[in-house]
Chain A
Amino acid sequence: MNSFTTVTAVAVPLDRADVDTDQIIPKQFLKRIERTGFGEFLFFDWRKEPGFILEEPHYAGAGILVAQRNFGCGSSREHAPWALEDYGFRAVIAPSFADIFRTNCTKIGLLPVQLTQEQVSDLMRQLAEIPGAPVTVSLEEQVVTAPNGARYPFEIAADVRERLLNGWDDISLTLAHEDAITAYESDRERDGPTTAPFLTADQV
């Protein structure tokens, strides 16, 4: 996974709430079996709308997306963060995120930054006044710096921050506790079904 320390980039104000992952990457692009190449299909249908903000020349090379509340709701498709990342985004700023989307982002090094509604509105206003203005997101300092120099601190779980700063892979971290998993399995073997009986009968 990419590490994330500090990013300064053009920020796109997407002034919409409840942006669902079906909009971020529509279903017809989920048939790929690769992890890359989704960026060109980001917001596929919205990009056909005249004047859609992502298509405006000011925002070429944008690296930060600013959106309204409940960003990333709906489907669990990790293809949504993959598409944002592949397009070039390194961070998404919003007043709130859907839980699965937020987790998916942090697993690939895309930083979800939660600010207050007032701060996001303020940021949106500045970005509308000076299209293409850069914003800085520092994970080290846990601060967003707006074009006018205003600094907005943000919260993030300490372990998630650590993992992102270092670009650590979750699976390796967990496998360091493999003994605990094995102990758990042998101590508690255990409730719940096993699918083993289905193995032979139904394997294609």
Chain B
Amino acid sequence: MGTTLFKKIWDAHEVRPADASGPALLYIDLHLVHEVTSPQAFEGLRLAGRRVRRPDRTMATVDHNVPTLGRENIADPLSKQQIETLEANCAEFGVPLFSIRSNRQGIVHVIGPELGLTQPGMTVVCGDSHTSTHGAFGALAFGIGTSEVEHVLATQTLPQAGPKTMRVSIEGTPGRGVTAKDLILGTIGQLGVSGATGYVVEYAGSAIRDLTMEGRMTVCNMSIEWGARAGMIAPDDTTFAFVEGRQAAPADFAAAVERWRALPSDPDATFDREETVDAAALVPQVTWGTHPGQVAPITGRVPTPEDFSDPVDAEGTRRALAYMGLKGGEALEDIAIDTVFLGSCTNGRLADLRAAATVIRGHKVADGIRAMVVPGSMQVKAAAEKEGLDEVFRQAGFEWRDAGCSMCLGMNPDILDPGERCASTSNRNFEGRQGAGGRTHLVSPEMAAAAAITGHLVDVRSLDVELQEA
């Protein structure tokens, strides 16, 4: 019987197999660290008199608290303290840090791949649920809590119970205007917000193979939004081409590719569960509720509680509609918005900014709409400026900011006001996620750009705008 991509990586990283005394102990190749989930872990090390076992397999950056305007002067003393605490901890424990003054600072899940640190076949962890992003490279990458961060810092390993495996085959050619974001939102809509809980998901199928690395990262990024322990995609020539030439790429690249080619799941590998999604049937997606599973095609209507037979779903819908200020039954395209946020580890890469800029070019942000672009990293920002995207956005009326998590979760000053309604390229539409009382509709970069132009949620395919070839 064949072996899955997941199992190949797992087996290669078992320091100890599972036995009666406990689960397997997995070696961690790369540990990414940010300022929010690490202070208590470093403090734990200090109290126990422990060191960081492998600073050379650890990399830190600041992203969640970083202001996107005037980063030299952080107004919020607590944000400032958290950033300075990471700086002090990294200095004390010898961990490499891309801090607020670095031109390579950015969202941890954007800069890992950008620097070439994320590579096929690795185990990658971070005290952050969107660590699943790195699975796009054929790595086993998953989010952990602060106790586990401390554990990895101290031991470079993690005890892990073996998850179940699921393959989601997304087949077919997506139509015009249907992006990686729509593939994953459509998948979550089809299979449910907790549909992948307990599973490591391998995304396969022609629609996945046809994606760029940026698109694959968008898909894997949102694995956690339907509960997956990790999401991953078989590495192929697209993957290798992305890694090649990056700063941390293997010195003997040809030899590395040789090894990486053995990683994909064998043809006769079996999974605990198989699902299929028809990419050709998808249209651009938009969330209407307060979790990513409450999603619908833009051509549709907001559901009502009566549309759900399960009483828990019906009650969840009732609460979500009340929070979102919706009655249920309205056409999604009729929902007026106040704000557009373009950024985050889901859609803050250069390809995302290009896609949005293609829609925006020659158009203006609708009257009264606040629209903001926050590049995922300072390198993304610099690359975008080099090709003039900042000008495209500025001329259209967007604000052009520095890199960080920003309004994805609003730990920095970029937040929604109560009742403010936002078309956002981020990954979570939870109550208050972008600011207490704020209302989030998750969309692709193209759909966010279209909403900015029209002032309401709108099917980007219906506008007289250019769309990039996927």
Contacts and interface: CB of A to CB of B under 8 A. Distances in A.
A33 B85 contact: yes
B273 interface: no
B146 interface: yes
Interface in B430-464: 430-433, 436
Interface of A: 15-18, 20, 22-23, 26-28, 30-35, 45, 68-70, 73-79, 81, 96-100, 103-104, 107-108, 157-159, 170-171, 173-175, 177-178, 180-181, 184-185, 188, 190-199, 202-204
B3 interface: no
Nearest to B15: A184
Interface stretch (B121-129, B275-283, B325-333): B121-129
B27 A184 contact: yes
Contacts of B250: 193
B421 interface: no
Contact of B155 (A100, A104, A157, A181): A181
A204 B431 contact: no
Given A45-B431, A170-B151, A78 B146 contact: yes
B248 A76 contact: no
B197 interface: yes
Contacts of A108: 147
A107 B96 contact: no
Interface residues of B, number: 96
B129 A75 contact: yes
B172 interface: no
Nearest to A192: B29
Interface string B4-44: 00000000100110001111010101100000110110010
A194 B57 contact: yes
B65 interface: yes
Contacts, number: 228
A5 B316 CA distance: 34
Interface stretch (B87-95, B177-185, B202-210, B234-242): B87-95
A203 B151 CA distance: 23
A70 B411 contact: no
B312 A202 contact: no
A23 B12 CA distance: 38
6 contacts: A35-B40, A73-B291, A174-B155, A193-B119, A196-B56, A204-B102
Interface in B296-336: 312-313, 315-316, 319
B305 to A, nearest CB: 13
B154 to A, nearest CB: 5
Listed from nearest, the 4 A-B pairs whose CB atoms lie closest are: A104-B145, A107-B147, A78-B145, A33-B39
B75 interface: no
Nearest to B434: A27
A181 B157 contact: yes
A185 B97 CA distance: 24
B209 to A, nearest CB: 24
Interface string B45-59: 000101001011111
B312 A17 contact: yes
Contact of B81 (A33, A175, A193, A199): A33
Contacts of A26: 432, 436
A145 to B, nearest CB: 24
Contacts of A31: 36, 65, 76, 78-79, 81-82, 411
A30 B411 contact: yes
Contacts of B81: 31, 33
